[in-house]
Amino acid sequence: MQVTDPAVHLFGMSTVIAASAGYSAQTRMARAWRRRPYAPLLGRLAVAIFWGCGSVAGLTVLGIPTAITVPIALTVLTVVTVVLAAAFAGGLIRPTRRPGLSART
């Protein structure tokens, strides 16, 4: 059993299914975390994960070996994670303020 077998069975060759599952996950995440300032970001990350799984599954069905697609997908995921972690740790990205709350100075 390969790493991408569950994704291939779930999404098949249809990347439309992966995209719709990603958008469904985004709306569910946004509803579940609606009071948190990072809810939209978490929803977008869920969409990106679903799109990545659907892309790898679609390329696997087309015959492109997972020895090529999985390392590329993991590299992209690692780079995005490191950039976001550095941005949060450095203070470049801050939580949005709720309307009606005064900013502390």
Ordered by start, the domain boundaries in the chain are: 5-90
Distance CA 65, CA 100 (A): 53
- Tens of pLDDT along the chain (105 residues) come to 565 566 556 655 567 777 788 888 888 888 888 887 778 878 888 888 888 878 887 777 778 888 888 888 889 889 988 888 887 777 776 666 666 655 555
Q: Which of 79, 76, 59 is nearest to 3 (CA)?
A: 59
pTM: 0.61
Residue 11's contacts (CB-CB under 8 Å, 6 or more residues apart) are: 17, 18, 21, 53, 54, 57, 58
